[in-house]
Amino acid sequence: MLALLLSFIIGGVFILLIGKDPFVVYAMFFSQTMGSWYGIGQVLFKATPLIFTGLSAAISFRAGLFNIGAEGQLIIGSFLVAMVGCTFSSLPSFLLIPCALLAGALGGALWGAIPGFLKAKFGAHEVINTIMMNFVAAGVISYLVTNVYSVPATVHTPQITASAELLRLDVFASAFHGSPVNVSLFIALAACGGVYYLLWRTRFGYELRAIGLNPIAAEYGGISIARRTVLTLALAGALAGLVGGNFVLGYKHYYELGFSEGIGFIGIAVALLARNHPIGIVLASIFFGILEYGSLTINTMVPKELSNILQAIVILFMITLTKFLSRWTTHLQECIVQDSNV
Amino acid sequence: MMFSINMQHISKRFGNLRANDGVNFSVQQGEIHALVGENGAGKSTLMNILYGIHQPDEGSILLNENLVKLETPARAISFGIGMVHQHFMLIPSLTVTENIILGNELTSMLGFINSSEAERTIEQLSDRYRLPVNPRARVESLSVGQQQRVELLKLLYRNAEILILDEPTPVLTPQEVEELFHTLNNFKSMGKTVILITHKLSEVMAISNSVTVMRRGKVVTRVDTVSTSQIELARLMVGHDVEFRTVKTSPPSSMPVLVVEGVSAQSDRHLPAVRNLSLSIAGGEILGIAAIEGNGQSELIQVITGLRKPTAGKVVIKGQEYLSSRHHPPVSHIPEDRGKQGLVLDFTISENLILGRHQEKNFSGLFRLFNEKVESNAKQLIQVYDIRPPTKHLRVRNLSGGNQQKVIIARELSKNAPVIVANHPTRGLDIWAIEFVHSSLLRERTNGKAILLVSSDLEELLKLSDRIAVMYEGEIVTIVEAKNTTERELGIYMTGAVKRGA
């Protein structure tokens, strides 16, 4: 809360500098995001892909890996989602949608597994490799979309067949009318539950966390780090690949170049803010969703650059202050434990 | 009486813990003073206050009768106080000279380091105090004993008059310990003051003029060494009588349980570390391994525990060979470094108690982890091994060293494997915890386990082992009956001075 307040104050100074009234701008910001069901729907729509990429980053962090490749993984995954969606038009919904999502997950998984394999086999650092894989993904898909699959004069693939579309939530709750929030939000929440279960209720999750916290002790405990590395990055990639469900199946109904705008990278911030906990990731994603959609709404009053600055300041403050606070609380805990030992 | 150091009524709290409670500590100029006490008795806190790392909450420090404030180590150094830490503060890839002058470089006007001048000074110092070392050698190429000399030279180079040594001997061979003591006596005769923090009472008796005993943050007594005894000091340290002898029952059975045949292995740097080594341990037998750090004992252990692939030879446990198989050999392993190798410090006690056993059918299926079983296992082991505090969900990081070691021992021994490998199992533990480890190992010996014990503490090896094998440069130089040998004899073999058959 303190972090928010501070960053809004600093943001206010910037707004004053360009000659606008910060209170008017902030009033707009909040009323547009949280003041209506439409706004909330927009925020949730923005939050959905961040849950996936946040989980992707978090699961890697938990294993001591820094996956910067979610961007590339989600590009590959989303493209495959769109291709399956428009190719197998004869399949019924209940088969086609899972198939499309599965294709997306597999594509992302492959894109994650490659740097995982390079790390496990040759010790090549995953940070460099996942970044490189981002470039490769962007290049390959950009080529395919513009030269092979695009609808002429556009930068997107053909429409997916209607049976592959995910329902928007306004079908169930008319209050959301007009906002693109769709069923993939529930898929994202299910993924959170899945990751939680995986990390704390399965053998693999136990091993993954052991490796992340102390790889040497994990190895002494008979855990093969190489295999777990590949599997973890593949899983992280699969989660990122599922982003396609939201944008492709739930919103535009085609794959469009450049749709992501860095969702993969924001996922890293989401995971950091959430301290790699699935429940925290939902909250952090909604928070980032508010920031994103909120900056869109105030674009009519202040330049886009300023709303970007605001976003960045909030993120900086939140992450620094939560770090600070968490260190402080663990310190307190340790003092208490010491006391009880004496 | 003239005290070179006089610390009066020093108190220091950490949270609610009284690390030092009204401590009076004084040392005369030109004496060797021993500071003894169990882990957590407050010795390190007191010395860190003297070295300017911590500030006391109460009390005053007088150096040569003058009241001083030691806000930082730099300030303490300027008063002639120097400290050699337990873990050396040297940079391995730099030379001896570079390490010694670090932070205190003589520079020309343009900022270039005048190293030939520094080298000359260091040579003079090493002559005067008889601390032979080549100033141009890289520190990584030096033995532990030589590295310690570099640390001492570092203090002398800074004109230290008061030298604090924090547990200097566990890493040394008996011969090196003798040399160190010789050096300390030299310092004394040149009027320098030495404070020796130690666990080992035999050393206190051998070298010190006076001794301060601490227990639970307070000074129990300060006496002249000549007027006390090892037994009395031990009693003062612990607070009651200590049984030093351990009774070994039941002779080993003759059946070999662990057989190592012609094993060779390489170190991490791909140098030969173990050379064509064979040994066998019977059920109910403890085989000790005595060796100076870096003579292949770590690599040998890694081969036996399945962590390192040998380049030749085989390991046979109860008649079954464990090299080609992908399965981990049935070995309970108490590793050298608790925090790094034995535990995931940020895991809970429960989680640590299944590390390495988590694949057993009891604890997990192909996919799922059976949390109820994990918890009940923890509950049981915490009780049996008296792990404190008995809180399953506490992170192991928050336990004391002794209790951390108990977690490892509980986990490894409950595997019920026929072979136990214990690598420095009591390093850094206090008397209570050491007793616990020793009795655990002896109990497993009675249960017919084959136990391999590696330790740099020769006293420990002599006390626990049936036989002791001395390793030098990857080979076993000799195997002796523990009851027929002495620390001195082992030390001679450990330095490679006598080869087998010579």
Q: What are the pLDDT digits (tens) for A216-245?
A: 999 999 898 999 999 999 999 999 999 999
- Minimum mean pLDDT among A73-87, A273-287, B234-248: which range? B234-248
Q: Is the pLDDT score of A273 beyond 70? A: yes
CA distance B328 to chain A (A): 7
Predicted local confidence at residue B501, as pLDDT: 47
Predicted local confidence at residue B328, as pLDDT: 78
A213: nearest CA partner in chain B: B344
Q: For residue B364, what are the contacts with CB-CB under 8 A and spacing of at least 6?
A: A202, A203, A206, B358, B370
Q: What are the pLDDT digits (tens) for B365-395?
A: 888 999 999 999 999 999 999 898 888 999 9
B391: nearest CA partner in chain A: A337
The answer on B48 and B160 residing in a single domain is: yes
> Is residue B248 situated within a structural domain?
no
- Minimum mean pLDDT among A207-221, A304-318, B284-298: which range? A304-318
Q: Which residues of B touch A342 (CB under 8 A)?
A: 16-17
> Is residue B386 situated within a structural domain?
yes
Q: What is the mean pLDDT of residues A292-321?
A: 82
Residue B30: closest CA among B219, B226, B186, B204: B186
- The token pair at B430 is 């206090």
The answer on B92 and B38 residing in a single domain is: yes
CA distance B341 to chain A (A): 4
> Is there a contact between B365 and A203 if contact means CB atoms under 8 Å apart?
yes
Residue of A206, A330, A332 to mutate for B, most B C-beta atoms under 10 A = A206
Give the best-scoring range by mean pLDDT among A138-152, A304-318, A326-340, B46-60: B46-60
Q: What gap in Å lies between CA A94 and CA B303, rounded to an integer?
A: 54
Asked if B379 is an interface residue toward chain A (Cβ–Cβ < 8 A), one would say no
Cβ under 8 Å to A: B residues 277-306: 305-306
The answer on B379 and B267 residing in a single domain is: no
Predicted local confidence at residue A20, as pLDDT: 83
- Is the peptide bond between B389 and the residue preceding it cis, with omega within 30 degrees of 0? yes
- Minimum mean pLDDT among A9-18, A147-156, B17-26, B206-215: which range? A147-156
> Is there a contact between A218 and B359 if contact means CB atoms under 8 Å apart?
no
Q: What are the pLDDT digits (tens) for B419-440?
A: 999 999 998 787 788 888 999 9
> Is residue B190 situated within a structural domain?
yes
> Is there a contact between B351 and A206 if contact means CB atoms under 8 Å apart?
yes
The answer on B168 and B22 residing in a single domain is: yes
Which of B6-16 are b and which e, b meaning 16 or more Cβ less than 10 Å from the residue's Cβ? bbbebbbeeee
Q: Which residue has the higher pLDDT, B314 or A152?
A: B314
Q: What is the mean pLDDT of residues B55-74?
A: 91
B371: nearest CA partner in chain A: A201
The answer on B203 and B105 residing in a single domain is: yes
Domain end point (choices B374, B393, B416): B416
> Is there a contact between A213 and B365 if contact means CB atoms under 8 Å apart?
no
The answer on B422 and B412 residing in a single domain is: no
Domain, as residue range, for B494: 255-330+418-502
Q: Is the pLDDT score of B1 beyond 60? A: no
Strand-strand pairing, B256-266 and B272-282: antiparallel
Predicted local confidence at residue B22, as pLDDT: 92
pTM for the full model?
A: 0.76
Q: What gap in Å lies between CA B318 and CA B255, rounded to an integer?
A: 9
Q: Is the pLDDT score of B253 beyond 70? A: no
> Is there a contact between B400 and A341 if contact means CB atoms under 8 Å apart?
yes
Domain count, chain B: 3
Q: For residue B125, what are the contacts with CB-CB under 8 A and spacing of at least 6?
A: B131, B153, B156, B157
Q: Is the pLDDT score of A336 beyond 60? A: no
The answer on B448 and B405 residing in a single domain is: no
Asked if B24 is an interface residue toward chain A (Cβ–Cβ < 8 A), one would say no
The answer on B307 and B269 residing in a single domain is: yes
Q: Is the pLDDT score of B500 beyond 60? A: no
Q: Is the pLDDT score of B108 beyond 70? A: no
Residue B241 confidence class, pLDDT cut points 50, 70, 90 = low
Q: Which residues of A touch B306 (CB under 8 A)?
A: 222
The answer on B160 and B109 residing in a single domain is: yes
Predicted local confidence at residue B242, as pLDDT: 54
The answer on B265 and B371 residing in a single domain is: no
Residue B67 belongs to domain with CATH number: 3.40.50.300
Which of B335, B347, B368 lies nearest to residue A203, judging by beta carbons? B368
The answer on B306 and B433 residing in a single domain is: yes
> Is residue B246 situated within a structural domain?
no
Q: Is A253:A86 a contact under the CB 8 Å cutoff?
A: no
Which of B16, B307, B368 lies nearest to residue A342, judging by beta carbons? B16
B398: DSSP letter = G
The answer on B496 and B367 residing in a single domain is: no
> Is residue B168 situated within a structural domain?
yes
Domain end point (choices B383, B416, B449): B416
Domain chopping of chain A, boundaries: 48-275
Asked if B327 is an interface residue toward chain A (Cβ–Cβ < 8 A), one would say no
Domain end point (choices B170, B205, B238): B238
User: Across all residues in chain A, what is the average pLDDT?
Assistant: 88
